């Protein structure tokens, strides 16, 4: 398996990351060993991906200002701004 170049860049909480075209936000962040995607509303617990297929909504982040977006489903586009 030969991986294509990470030709896309996006930011997550201000830090810059690369992504391969077709990769979701969660996949690109996991590949960079960034496991915590957000903390919870009530108990401030860290959360990452759980179902990986858009069912559990644990991986939600804010994408280009739109909140509650499932990072395991949304593919990275160049210049995307992602926040916890």
Partner 1 sequence: MIAIIGAGPAGLAAAVTAAKKGEKVILIDSSTRLGGQYWRHLPSNWKQKRLPYFAEAQELFDQVLSSPLITWYSNAHVWQAEKKNEIFYLYVVKNGVEEVITAQKVILATGAYDRSLPFPGWTGPGVMTPGAAQAMLKTHGVLVGKKIVIAGTGPFLLPVATGLASAGAEIVALLEANKQWRWVFNVHGLLLNPSKIREGVYYLKKLRSLGISIQYGSTVTSFEAGIATIGKKEIACDVVAVGWGFVPELSLAGILGAKLSVQKDGTVVVDVDRNQETSIQGLFAAGESTGIGGSVLAIAEGEIAAGKGNRVTRWRAQVFAKGLQRVYPVSSGWLSSLNSEVTLCRCEEVKVSDIQSAIDELGAQDGRSAKLLTRAGMGLCQGRVCGRNVSEVVACHLSREVPDRERIASASRPLAGPISLGELGDGLGKKF
Site track 5-44 with partner 1 (rule: CB under 8 A), x = hit: ---------------xxxxx-xxx-xx---xxx--xxxx-
* Residue placing its CB nearer to ligand FES in the complex, 5 or 67: 67
Are 80 and 11 within 8 A, CB to CB?
Answer: yes
DSSP string, 56-70: S-TTEEEETTEEEEE
Are 25 and 71 within 8 A, CB to CB?
Answer: yes
Query: In the range 8-67, which residues lie near ligand FES by CB under 6 A?
Result: 49-52, 54-59
Task: State the nearest-atom distance from the C-beta of 46 to partner 1, in Å.
Answer: 5
Q: Residues near 66 by Cβ (< 8 Å), separated by ≥ 6?
A: none
Question: Could you list the residues that contact partner 1 (CB under 8 A)?
Answer: 1-4, 20-24, 26-28, 30-31, 35-37, 40-43, 45-58, 60, 66, 68, 72-73, 75
């Amino acid at each position: 398996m030969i991986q294509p170049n990470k030709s896309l860049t996006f930011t997550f909480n201000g830090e810059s990351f690369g992504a391969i075209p077709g990769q979701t936000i969660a996949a690109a962040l996991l590949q960079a060993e960034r496991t915590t995607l957000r903390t919870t509303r009530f108990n401030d617990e860290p959360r990452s991906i759980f179902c990986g297929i858009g069912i559990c909504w644990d991986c939600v982040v804010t994408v280009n200002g739109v909140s509650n977006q499932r990072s395991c489903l949304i593919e990275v586009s160049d210049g995307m701004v992602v926040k916890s």
